[in-house]
Structure 1
Amino acid sequence: MANDKEKDQLRANLAAVTPVLEQEGAVLSLNPKKTLIATDIHGNSDILDFFLKFGQEKDVDSWVFLGDYIDKGPDSIGVLNRLFELKLSNPLNVVLLRGNHETTDVNTYGEFKTSVSSEPDLFIATNTAFENMPVAVVLFGKIFCVHGGLSENESLSAISKTDSFAYLWNDPFDSKGFTPSPRGSRVKRFGPDVVKSFLKKNGLQLIIRGHITLETGVKFWFDKTLVSLYSSLPYSSPDVKAAVCIADSDAAEFFFYRKDKKKNDYVWENKPVKVLLRPSPLKESDAGNICVCGDVEFKNNGNGKSSGTENGNGSSSSNDSSSLNTNGRNGSNKKASDKKNVSFPSVSKMKSKCKKIMKGKQKSDKGKWKNKKK
C-alpha cells in the first residue's frame, strides 16, 4: 500500500503531466535514433527500473510504453510516479500510450483503486490524465505501436482519444476480417487481411502491440507483420520469459529476460530476435502519414523522416531532440553504463520546461514544422 508521501508525489506529478498530455494528439510520430518499447508493466516498479537501466546501457534516446501501467502488481503508484517524471524530463521523446487498464471500466475494480480508496479525488485526477494519453505512435514512419489492436476504420487520422476502444481492446486472430471476441460484445478480433490492408494503406511495415499475457515474451503474427509484446513476468517460473523491444529505422530487436531465483534478480538472455525493416521510401497514406504531437503536425516526406512547415506564428519544435537521460539532463558525457542508479528530476524544475516545449517555443534544428490544433 502506498504511503502518504507517494500519494502526494503522484498529485504533484499529475498536476504537471496532465497539461502536457492534453497537448498531445491521439497519434504521435517519433523519429529517434533508437527507442525502447515496453508494455503491460502492471504495477511492477522493480521491472520498470530494470528496463530503464537496460535502455541506458543500450543508449536509447526515446522511450515508448504501450499502456497497462497499473493493477495486478504491488506498486501502481510507484510506476506512475516514475513514468510521469520520465515524461516530464523529456516530453517529446517519452511516449505514454493508453491501455485498457487506463480506463475506469477496468481500473474501478483493480488494485490501483484499492490503493487510493480513501482518496477518491486522486483516483479521479489519475483517470483524467489517462483520458488525455495518446492512443498510438508511429516510429520512423514504419512501426505502428498501440496497446490493443486495429479498428474497422483504417485511417490514422480517424483515431481519436474519445473513441479509442478498439485500439485498447482488440486482438489479432487467424481468421480473416473482424470476428467476435470472448472478451466481450464490443471487442473484436482482426485477421491477417486486416493487418495487411492497414499497413499498405498507411505506408507502414510493422505493428507492435501489448495487451495479451504471454509466457514467451513475444508472439509473432502474420509473417512477422504484427508482434504481440509482453514485458512483465506473469509468473515466477524460471521457464517464463518477458521481453522489451529496441528499435531503430533498420530493425526491431526483441530482448528477453527472466527471473533468476538463485540471484533473486532479473537477467537478460543473450539471444534477441530481430525483425528487419525495409529501407525503401514509404508510400503516403490517405492521411499523408500525419501524426500529431500537441499543436504540431508531422508529415512523412517520402524518405521515412518527419517534416513539415511553420505557420505564421513563427514557432517550431523538434521531435528529434538531444538524447534522453533519465536524470533529466541532456548533454552529459557520462556513459550510461557508469550510472548505478536511475534518478529523476524534480517536478517543479521540469514544469516550466514542459510548457515551453509543448507550446512549440523551442527552435528546431531539424527543419520547420507546421503548427496545427488537433
Structure 2
Amino acid sequence: MASDKEKDQLRANLAAVTPVLEQEGAVLSLNAKKTLIVTDIHGNADILDFILKFGKEKGVDSYVFLGDYIDKGPDSVGVLNRLFELKLSNPNVALLRGNHETTDVSTYGEFRSSVSNEPDLFLSANAAFENMPIAAVLFGKIFCVHGGLTENDSISGISKSDSFGYLWNDPFDAKGWTPSPRGSRVKRFGPDVAKTFLKKNGLQLIIRGHITLETGVKFWFDKTLVSLYSALPYSGPDIKAAVCIADSDAAEFFFYRKDKKKNDFVWESKTSKVLLRPAPVLNESDAGNICVCGDVGFKKEETSPEVETVEPENGAEEGNGNGAGNNGDGNGKNSGKTNGNGDKANGNGNNKKENGKKDVRVPPASKMKSKCKKVMKGKQKSDKGKWKNKK
C-alpha cells in the first residue's frame, strides 16, 4: 500500500502530466543523439532507479518507455511518480502505453490495490493512460511499441482510440496471422507481416516488450524484430534483463542480473548490437512518394535494409517468451483476471544459445548516404532532439 504522501505526489503529477500526454499524437518521432529504451518495469522502482542511473552514466539524452509500468511489482505508485516527473522535466521522454495501462487489466492488478481507498486516484491514472502514445519512431529507422503489429500496415493509421492490437499482439514464427493463447481478440503475426510493415514504412527494426524473458532479449525474423524485457522476472544466477541504447547507427542491448553476494544489480560486460544502415537521401521530386517519420524521408518501396548482430562472447540466450517465475506470465498463468484477454504466456520456454559473432559493420547500400535530409514540401523541420508528433 502506497503512503499518503506518495499518493498525494501521484495526484499532483497526474494533474500536470495528463495535459502533456493529451497533446501528443499516437506516434512520436524522435531524433535525439542517444536514446535509452526500457520496457515492462512492472512496479519495480528499485530496478527503474538502477536503469536511470545507467542511462545517465551513458550520456543518453532521450528515453522511450514501452509500457507496463504498473502491477506485479511492489511499488507501482513509485514507478509512476518517477516516470511522470522525468517526463515533465525532459521533453525527450516518451511514455508509451502497455496492456497493463488499460482498465481491462489494471482493474485487477496490484496498482489498484495500492490505491484501493482512493478510487478517484485510480480513475485519474487511467485517464492519463488513455492519452499515452502508442508507438515511437527513432531516427526514422526503429519502430518502438509495447506489443506488436496489427493488420493496419501503415504508421499513419495508428490511433490512440484503436490501440488493442499494438498493446497485445505477439510475433510468431508461422507466416501471416494466427490465433493467440492470450485470448480471442489477440493475434500473432509472422515474419512476412513484419517485413511488409518495415518495407512500407521505410523502417529497419522493431523493438517491443510484452513477453517475459529470462534472457533479456529475443531476436526474431532474421533480427529485424527484438523482444526486450527490462525487469528481472524472477531470481536466479542465470536470469537476465536488458535495456537498449540506440542511435542512428545501431541498437545496442545491455544486460544485467541480480548479484546475490553483493545483493545488488550488476551489468554484464558483454552486449548485443544490431547495426543499422544509413537512410537514403531523397530529392524533392520524390516528395509525393515518401512516408515521413520525424526529419527523415524514405521511399515507400525501398527494401528494408538487413541488420547484423554482435552477440556477447558467451552467447545471449534466446528465450521463447515464457518465464516461469513470480511475474505470472510464465506457465500460461494470469497475474490477475483480465476480462478474457488474459495476460498469458505460452508456457513452453525453449531456450537456445547464440554463438558469438565478430563486430562486422554492414556496408551502405547503393545510393544511400550517412546524412539524411528532410525533403517533404510544406512540412516544418523540427529541431534536432525535439519531439514531433504524428497524429
Count of equivalent residues: 316
1:208 equivalent in structure 2: 207
Q: Which residue of 1 aligns with 2:182?
A: 183
Equivalence map 1:152-231=2 (5 Å) = 152-231=151-230
Q: Report what 2:297 is aligned to.
A: 301
CA contact (8 A) 1:68 1:101 kept: yes
Q: What corresponds to 2:280 in structure 1? A: 281
Which residue number in structure 2 is paired with residue 6 of structure 1? 6
How far apart in 2 are the matches of 1:138 and 1:169? 19
Residue in structure 2 matched with residue 82 of structure 1 by the alignment: 82
Q: Pick closer, same or farther for the CA change 1:142–1:282 going to 2, 3 Å.
A: farther
Query: Letter of the aligned partner of 1:22 in structure 2?
Result: E
SS in 2 for 1:48: helix
Confirm whether residue 143 of structure 1 aligns to residue 142 of structure 2: yes
Q: Distance in 1 between matches of 2:90 and 2:244?
A: 20
Q: Is the 8 A contact 1:40 1:68 kept in 2?
A: yes
Structure with greater proportional helix content = 1
The answer to whether the 8 Å contact 1:140/1:305 transfers is no
One-letter amino acid of the structure 1 residue matched with residue 249 of structure 2: D
Give the 3-state SS of the residue equivalent to 1:98 in structure 2: coil
Task: Identify the residue that residue 40 of structure 1 maps to in structure 2.
Answer: 40
Q: Which amino acid is the alignment partner of residue 41 of structure 1?
A: I
Q: Kindly tell me: are residues 137 and 307 of structure 1, through their superposed partners in 2, closer, same or farther at Cα, counting changes over 3 Å? A: farther
1:70 and 1:257 map into 2 onto residues whose CA distance is 21
**SS of residue paired to 2:120:** helix
1:128 aligned to 2:127?
A: yes
SS in structure 2 at match of 1:102:
coil
Runs of at least 4 residues of structure 1 off by over 3 A? 282-291, 301-311, 315-319
Q: CA deviation at 1:230?
A: 0.2
Partner of 1:97: 96
- How far residue 301 of structure 1 moved from its aligned partner, in angstroms, is 3.4
Asked if 1:232 is matched to 2:231, the reply is yes
CA distance in structure 1 between the aligned counterparts of 2:109 and 2:215, rounded to whole angstroms: 25
Q: What's 2:324 paired with?
A: none
User: Are 1:261 and 2:260 matched, yes or no?
Assistant: yes
Contact 2:213 2:229 in 1 (8 A): yes
Cα RMSD (Å): 2.3
* Gaps in structure 2 of 5+ consecutive residues: 299-370
With a CA cutoff of 8 Å and minimum separation of 6, indicate the structure with the bigger relative contact order: 1
CA gap 1:206/1:76 in 2 versus in 1, 3 angstroms: same
Residue segments in structure 1 that go unaligned for 5+ positions in a row: 292-297, 322-357, 359-368
Partner amino acid for 1:247? A
Structure 2 length as normaliser, TM-score? 0.77
- Aligned partner of residue 144 in structure 1, secondary structure: strand
- 1:286 CA drift (Å): 9.1
Change (3 A) 1:299 1:59: closer
Report the CA distance shift for 1:373/1:165 in structure 2 as closer, same or farther (over 3 A): closer
CA distance, structure 2, for counterparts of residue 319 and residue 5 of structure 1: 38
SS in 2 for 1:270: strand
Return the letter of the residue paired with 2:149: L
Question: C-alpha distance in 2, partners of 1:67/1:228?
Answer: 13
Q: Give 1:310 shift.
A: 7.5
Counterpart position of 1:320: 385
Identity %: 78
